Amino acid sequence: MDDDCAVDALLRAREEGATVYDTSDVYGLGHSQRLLGRMLAQVPRESVSITSTVGAFRGTSVNAYSSLNLHGQVEQSLENLGVDSLDVLTLHHTDFGPRDQYLPEARETLEALRDLGRVKALGMRAPNRLVAGTATSGDRNQVSAARFSFLVQQFDPKVITTPFNPLSQPPEPEAAASEEDEDIFSFARRHGVATMIYKPLGLGLLTGKYLPDAAFGPGDVRSRITAPVLDAVQRGLQPLRDRFGPTPQDLARVALHYCLKRCPDSIVLTGFTSSQQVAGNYQGFKNELSEPDYEFVDAAYAALRAELVELGQLRSRDAASVP
């Protein structure tokens, strides 16, 4: 993607009403942040909130959450962005080393960064559904409810980010979720924490633009998606094409409205590749779905999830594993 086009799209998003921009030090090893910094230099800083993750990149440190690494990554992120502070700094995972060796050090460092005004609030990433039982400190893919609750008490995050899209298990009704096996949205409400969801389009899978013979480049996380899965997705999206339109923009509109309906109190983080895509997404927001539309969409996505479970590509109770 051309850098100038990326900055133009970021500016277009702000014109359309975007107020939260999410990035990470590991996206392009700082390149994403520098592009966002070019946009931020052209708008009032107070008009937008910037969130960034830390922890995915540990350099030569033994643990990503060592004090020196945290300080270095945060300061480098601020320099890349050209700002004095991050509105939210999100911990990328929950691995604080054997027996949580680096947890006290990380907590003290992050408190110091907040006291210095370099970070205004902390965030944590979590799976869509917390699992019952025990999960070890180094397990980045599953986190038990007890473990995550403990970490929330340790770090007092104001935001929890989680993957969610129409391939994810829908959030449980608030009254139905037990504390031992609840989705992250119920957990966040119970703890008074805001939520942000990412991957609402399943890395573009749910826009229908990837055919079974799609070829992804080296290092592309979508390269692990098999042709049978892509074929199943194409079949599963056909009822939505027939009702709402055949273009990727039409399908993106449906998927984003589904996420907003299912997670009405969440911020939805949506990627882009052009100003036209940004404008199309916002145009779709203005074209609301009716209740019969939502019922139709629910049924179509449920059928697609069931087929992916049969293919062994989706766990029946967890967040979508395909994208």
Per-residue pLDDT for 117 more than 80?
yes
How would residue 132 be classed by pLDDT, with cut points 50, 70 and 90? low
How would residue 128 be classed by pLDDT, with cut points 50, 70 and 90? low
Whole-angstrom Cα distance, residue 183 to residue 180? 10
Q: Higher model confidence: residue 128 or residue 2?
A: 2
Bridge partners, 49 (sequence order): 20
Which segments within 4-61 are labelled E, that is strand? 20-24, 49-54
Q: Which amino acid makes up residue 48?
A: V
Per-residue pLDDT tens for 228-274? 889 999 999 999 999 999 999 999 999 999 999 998 889 999 988 89
Per-residue pLDDT tens for 56-69? 888 888 899 999 99
Q: Which residues contact 213 (CB under 8 A, 6 or more apart)?
A: 227
pLDDT (0 to 100) of residue 234: 94
Whole-angstrom Cα distance, residue 278 to residue 91? 27
pLDDT (0 to 100) of residue 147: 86
pTM, full prediction: 0.87
Per-residue pLDDT for 105 more than 50?
yes
pLDDT (0 to 100) of residue 297: 96
pLDDT (0 to 100) of residue 313: 65
Per-residue pLDDT tens for 181-232? 678 888 899 889 999 999 999 989 999 998 888 878 877 878 888 888 899 9
How would residue 172 be classed by pLDDT, with cut points 50, 70 and 90? low
pLDDT (0 to 100) of residue 32: 94
pLDDT (0 to 100) of residue 123: 96
- CA dihedral (75, 76, 81, 82) in degrees, to 10, reads 60
Query: Average pLDDT in the 92-101 region?
Result: 92
Whole-angstrom Cα distance, residue 254 to residue 244? 8
